Amino acid sequence: MNVCDSDMLDSVFLAYGASKVNNLSEADVVILNTCSVRVQSEQKAFSYLGRVKEFKQKKTCIKIVVIGCMAERLGHNIKKRFNSVDLIIGAKDIDNAALRIMNLFCTNYSAKKVNPEIKSEIVRYVTIMRGCDNYCSYCTVPFVRGREISINYETIVNKCSSMVKNGAREIILLGQNVNSYQYEDINFASLIKKIVTIENLERIRFITNHPKDLSDDLVKIMATEPKVCSHIHLPMQSASDKILKAMNRKYSYEHYLKLIKKLRTAVPSVSVTTDIIVGFPGETNEDFENTLKAVKTIRFGGLYVFRYSPRPNTTAAAMIDDVPFEEKKRRHAIILKESNKISIEIVSEMLGSIQQVLVEEIKNGIIKARTRTGRKVFAEGRKEYVGKHINVNIKEAKINSLFGDIV
Ligand code: 5AD
Ligand code: SF4
């Protein structure tokens, strides 16, 4: 979501005549887009602010802007810690961010309405909804991003169409919980049915899903619509019903397993990826072992595992954070090790196979492409392949990337 918001801002800045530079010495303004999901993300942002503060002592005219969830959560308290910060714009005000930043330099901009530049990249993100109403007990998102709002489907379809006209071939639909998309009588499955009709669009992906809301209609579309990729990110968080209940996830492990079976029956090639939290308050070794067992049973195509960190205002923050840090680290390492082992097994099975991939870019004669299941594939290639489907014979397989020859 942050990558997408930064990208959207980038397009508006380009339209204002600003351009992106890659180092501080050339910059007039530094914009830090922040995340509040875990305490580590906030610590990283603070340490970056420390570094730019030092830089500002040398180049005093540079402006520092903090945007996004941390700006929403902490507001002017950020300025108390870093008086070098010139402007703070919270996640809920992101739509006006570019204008407010331009006004730091020249007030005339307030009168100027611009059409954001449409970038000609192969893979583009499109936000279909903002906010979240689920209130999982550990999560700060409903507080910093606000209530769930679905964007008008006509706006979304038009945006996708113009991106495709400008060269996009894959669209990734984004929302905190795309399965609960609803605008008038259009739900997520019917939104996809509209988007697949866009000519020259080759692929559609979507993130992220909530197991309590995944509909049979969506599973059916994944099975029948060739443009919809065989990949679904379905955060499990835990396989212990006690912990799932304490997390307010509103499903049981059994329900989760049933969904996996349903998906795999309908789309045999599907890759399911997930998120897992270890060390949630009250997570015993037995609860953790259940999650580990689930990781072994389900064999995810990939996973992100996080050590629980209490977030202010959430209901879990009032629970006793009773799993010691060292134990969280141990559980984190065990899940990661198991997941890496499974990933190696999955990619090893792909050795010698021919994979159909969509080429996203070329750098130094090497194309970067992706399988329908979302795995990165590299091969020697030519510029003409960018944006096209090609076949690659897989010769080498690493956890996060495959290498091969174009057939
Ligand atoms: N502590 C640890 N992980 C968290 N996540 C969300 N909130 C927390 C938290 N307080 C994880 C969840 C979610 C992912 C985006 O981040 O697994 O799916
Ligand atoms: Fe957070 Fe739960 Fe909403 Fe995901 S569904 S953003 S974890 S509250």
Q: How far is the CA of 204 from the centre of ligand 1 (A)?
A: 25
Query: Sorting pLDDT into bands at 50, 70 and 90, what band is 110?
Result: low
CA distance 133 to 379: 43
Per the listing, tokens 């890659």 go with 22
* φ/ψ (deg, to 5) at 366: -110, 125
CA angle (355, 360, 362) in 5-degree steps: 100
pTM: 0.94
Beta pairing, strands 170-174 & 182-183: unpaired
Query: Sorting pLDDT into bands at 50, 70 and 90, what band is 171?
Result: very high
What is the separation, in whole angstroms, between the first and last Cα of the chain? 35
Residue 68 tokens read as 């996004």
pLDDT at 105: 83
pLDDT digits (tens, 9 = 90+) for 273-285: 999 999 999 999 9
Pocket of ligand 2 contains residue 141 by CB under 6 Å: yes
Q: Whose CA is nearest to atom 1 of ligand 2?
A: 139
CB 238 within 8 A of CB 298: no
Residue 333 tokens read as 């390492």
Burial class (CB in 10 A: 0-12, 13-18, 19+), 106: exposed
Q: How far is the CA of 195 from the centre of ligand 1 (A)?
A: 30
pLDDT digits (tens, 9 = 90+) for 147-168: 999 999 999 999 999 999 999 9
Mutate to test the pocket of ligand 1, among 3, 207, 277, 335 (most ligand atoms within 8 A of CB): 277
Pocket of ligand 1 contains residue 237 by CB under 6 Å: yes
Q: Which amino acid is at 273?
A: T
All domains of the chain, ordered by start, with CATH?
2-102 (3.40.50.12160), 119-229 (3.30.750.210), 231-244+259-348 (3.30.750.200), 354-406 (2.40.50.140)
